[in-house]
Amino acid sequence: MASIKISSVYRFVEAFVDQRVFVGVDVHKKTFSVALLRPDGMVKDWSSPADVYSLTQILSSLPVHIGAVCYEAGPTGFGLARSLKAAGITVIVAAPSRIPRPVAPTNKTDSLDCRKLAEMAASGMIRPIAIPNEKEEAFRSLQRRRHQITDSLRKVKQRIRGLLLSLGATEPAGIDHWSKAAITALATIPLPPGADDTRTSLLDELNYLAAAQRQVDLRLRIISKEQDEARRIAAMRSVPGVGEVVATTFAAEIFRPERFNNSKEVTAYLGLAPVIRQSGLSKGKGRLRPVGQRRLRSLLIEAAWIWKQKDEWARDFYNRIYSKSGIAQKAIAALARKLAALLWKLSLPVTQS
């Protein structure tokens, strides 16, 4: 797809002054592939450098009404969406998993992709996702960084235990909980040359990650107070089984909770709402479709197990579902769904709760 002069875009739409057009953008790190769909079905596409300001200026200056600009969510973030919204242009940021795809393999190019996005936006086939502001996105990125560190900690711990197992060394007492005494004892276990250096390197990595996690936790507490998230987090932590990590993750991922109309939308967003599949005379079966928010969904299920142990109502609800299905996973997923709905209600602004 070649780049074109802006004047040719003006000429393309000059006969459709004040009429609605739709724009599809295939967003990449270095380039934007843009398609402009006129009311008569004609399309003009072009390629330009990935300059958010420049594209916003071009679309804002056109003598037509932009029905919507549509692009897929991805690693480039929401800078383009925020710029277009600030210019008064409707933006549809679509989740890739929710964009209709052809059943059979077809050609795929940047030109075709942006054309399809413009056409689907014009037909109303795409449902937009929420666009976080800069503060919300930054808070969410720090929360996700914490989970990245947690994953790295888990892996280095597995590597340390794997090293001891491969060398036939005995693990120190308390290693299951990684107590300070156990970590100190790890450094004193006799190991052959080379393996000793490996252990030292792994312990250095463990200490670094533990310190990094403490630092991120501190920053999350500070930022949550600055952004007035402390009330939401404190309210959610009043539920037995919901700790700081679960509540902070929920607050970061479910930003502006008032954008959901009801708890069913929240549980569907988290992948905790059952999807029914039924055909003919067969009895429909419901199962979870794990879309998006995998980390938060996992945390809610873990919290639901603790909630069941500490709260009588939660325990009775779990037992009732378990007695009907005989499947523990199904019962705990149902309880996690209840927990997500409860946390959403607790996180709503005071005037809406």
The per-residue pLDDT of the chain, averaged, comes to 91
In this model, does residue 282 exceed pLDDT 70? no
Alpha helices in 190-293 (DSSP H): 195-226, 230-236, 244-253, 263-269
What's the angle, vertex CA 185, arms to CA 183 and CA 190, rounded to 5? Answer: 125
In this model, does residue 353 exceed pLDDT 50? no
What's the angle, vertex CA 175, arms to CA 173 and CA 178, rounded to 5? Answer: 130
**Average pLDDT score over residue span 235-263:** 94
What is the largest distance, in Å, between two alpha-carbon atoms of the chain? 83
- Does this model's pTM top 0.75? My answer is yes
Q: Residue 120 — very low, low, confident or very high, per pLDDT cuts 50/70/90? A: very high
**Residue 231 to residues 209, 215, 300: CA-CA distances in angstroms?**
29, 22, 19
In this model, does residue 262 exceed pLDDT 70? yes
Q: Residue 105 — very low, low, confident or very high, per pLDDT cuts 50/70/90? A: confident
In this model, does residue 280 exceed pLDDT 70? no
DSSP letter at 128?
A: B
Query: What is the model's pLDDT at position 267?
Result: 92
Query: What is the model's pLDDT at position 197?
Result: 95
Tokens of 249: 């993750």
